[in-house]
Structure 1
Amino acid sequence: MNKKIFLYLALILLALNFFCWKEVFSLTENNYLKVDFLDVGQGDSAFIETPEKHQILIDGGPTSAVLQKLSERMPFWDKEIDLIILTHPELDHMQGLIDVLQRYRADYILWTGILRETSEYKKWASILSQNSKKVIVVSAGTKVKAGNAEIDILFPFENLAGNEVKNTNDSSIVAKLIYGKESFLFTGDISSTAEKLLANSKENILSNVLKVAHHGSKYSTSDLFLAAVAPRIAVISAGVKNTYGHPTREVLQRLQNYDITTLRTDQSGDINFVTDGNSIYITLNYEIPEIP
């Protein structure tokens, strides 16, 4: 056979093999939901990608650091996020979202609509006014379908739009992400006061993974709440050597008392979960342990 023809056929076969492998890989990859708790310092941010490639960002942390995290997870040409959720308008959750919305488009933005008088809040409100058709005020009962995944808003119980609240933390959105048999509970910065309301409510807060409220403050993650949620894994988002002493010894001890595997962004950086709806895998320190 002519060498040129042989080389040409070999390249064709190589290309076909690549496309076949890529298709098989994609089919396998598409069974998995990804949940990344991002290391953004003393704040909260989580990035979710569904098997159908829906992208969801919950909070953005205190700085623009979230932009680098997104660039590591989204192709450079992708400047659209399907859903952004702001749990509550405090700097350590909101500032990063302000930066994100100046560089990315969002199909929908969910928040509580409470009023504040800070300069950061005014920037946030200005951005929302430019995206008014995409903004949805939510409270308990709101459900978001993202392919085979679902996000249930469990708190606040009442619509708070246009209200000034005494405790912004206890106005935080609490959302439960459900995919198959696995679930993740995002708690914003709620205190034990709001935790008690949730634990005594009809809401189903039972979850496999708990994002610990308020970065591990001793005023959150009560025994009552831990017993009601019954998580196997807890994630704490806190800054390295932060001035608040988060996470506190009291919270770490309570988590240990309930034999909950505890992961911390101040120790491990980004904490990445992958689940097929039956099992959870964690990427941590270059190892992928399975949590039964």
Structure 2
Amino acid sequence: MKFQKNFKLYILGLFLCFNFLIWYGVLAEERKELIVAFLDVGQGDAIFIEAPSGKQVLIDGGQNRQFISKLSEVMPFYDRSIDMVVLTHPDEDHVGGLPSVLENYTVDFVLEPGVNSDNATYIKFEDLIKEKGIEKVLARQGMSICLDNLPGTKSLSDCGVLLEVLFPNQDASEFDTNLASVVLKLTNGDNSFLFTGDSPKSIEKYLVDVLGDNLDVDVLKLGHHGSKTSNSDLFLGFTSPEYAIASVGLNNSYGHPHKEVLDLLEKFGVNLLRTDEEGTIIFKSDGVSDLKVGSL
């Protein structure tokens, strides 16, 4: 009887190992594509990026620790590390779940604007960065991060998946928090994404003045959840996205996305995807073909 019991446990162990290897292989196959997931976190922002190399970036963390359950939907259960966490700015609907990320995942480094804030959640986030010895980098225009780890990638010009900081362009410590938002451009071959945090129209105009046609992207994360204080006619014209993402809560009290922005998107023929309607929105990019888009 003991032999039979041990034999059954042995077979069960082999089955579990075999099952794990199959799923690991499936996930590895998927990593041939860049994955960008706009998580359904209600009235807040959280964006998960995984490059074909396996490098992972998390931009913002929603309103609270409940966002962790959404993150677990796009990360394998056994994966307890994230290469980089980006905090665009320390408002609650962006920093809310990030302390829980630092408590539950190993994080290599944090990128943030360096704006002063007395938000208690942000202070806890900063304390955890120090406590865990995580490297912190202040985002500045001109910084570029290659998400490849491929042999032969010797310079940024060889980089397959490139993350660029477009703003802030200076010390942002005394800025209004929205004004200080980190703006990032992600490029994978012919596919590109723009993440704007809660940047207002004044920053959009600055970016147009400095970058012009280089702002042209396939996917735009609408500024400030689709508020009319962002997403100007000028900015939408220069970014010229095929898709715009509104990360918003269902029946939110702010009325996001605002009608003025919806009208502009219609004017420019932009496809709007909303997390309150679609759930988590996932793009897959091979850098050559048209983007594949789905939802959870």
TM-score (structure 2 length as normaliser): 0.84
How far did 1:92 drift? 0.2
CA distance in 2, matches of 1:275, 1:19: 26
Displacement of 1:70 in angstroms is 2.0
The Cα shift of 1:122 comes to 1.6
**Secondary structure, counterpart of 1:108 in structure 2:** strand
Structure 2 residue 73 is the aligned partner of structure 1 residue 63 = no
Gaps of 5+ in 2: 1-18, 149-159
Q: 1:248 aligns with which of 248, 251, 258?
A: 258
Match of 1:7 in 2: none
- CA separation of 1:255 and 1:25: change in aligned 2, threshold 3 A: same
Residue 157 of structure 2: aligned partner: none
Deviations 1:4-23 (CA, angstroms, capped at 9, x unpaired): xxxxxxxxxxxxxx999989
**Is 1:173–2:182 an aligned residue pair?**
yes
Instruction: Provide closer, same or farther for how the CA distance between residues 125 and 99 of structure 1 changes in structure 2, counting only shifts above 3 A.
Output: same
Question: Aligned AA for 1:64?
Answer: R
Q: CA deviation at 1:254?
A: 0.6
1:154: which partner in 2?
166
Aligned to 1:282: 293
Separation in 2 of the partners of 1:23 and 1:64? Answer: 27
> Does the 8 Å contact 1:154/1:174 carry over to 2?
yes
> How far apart, in 2, do the equivalents of 1:25 and 1:38 lie?
22
| RMSD (Å), alpha carbons | 2.2
Between 113-122 and 250-259, the greater mean CA deviation after superposition: 113-122
User: Could you tell me which residue of structure 2 aligns to residue 190 of structure 1?
Assistant: 199
Q: How does 1:2-17 map to 2 (within 5 A)?
A: none
8 Å CA contact retained: 1:138, 1:159: no
Report Cα offsets for 1:148-177 as digits up to 9, x if no partner.
2110000111133xx222x21011000001
Cα separation, partners in 2 of 1:230 and 1:118, compared to 1, 3 Å = same
Shift in alpha-carbon separation, 1:25–1:43, aligned structure 2, 3 A: closer
Please give the secondary structure, in 1, of the residue aligned with 2:293: strand
Q: Deviations over 1:26-68 (max 9, x none)?
A: 7753321110000001000000111111111000000112211
1:218 equivalenced with 2:228 (yes/no): yes
After superposing on structure 2, the runs of 4+ consecutive aligned residues of structure 1 that deviate more than 6 Å are 18-24
Aligned to 1:261: 271
Is the CA contact (8 Å cut-off) linking 2:91 and 2:119 kept in structure 1? no
Distance 1:45 1:177 in 2: 15
**Percent identity, aligned pairs only?**
40
CA contact (8 A) 2:36 2:49 kept: yes
Q: Is the 8 A contact 2:111 2:137 kept in 1?
A: yes
The separation in 2 between residues aligned to 1:59 and 1:245, in whole angstroms, is 22
* Structure 1 unaligned regions, length at least 5: 1-17, 286-292
Task: Tell me the residue number matched to 1:140.
Answer: 141
Give the secondary-structure state (helix, strand or coil) at the position aligned to 2:104. Answer: coil
Shift of 1:132: 4.5
SS of equivalent residue, structure 2 residue 199:
coil
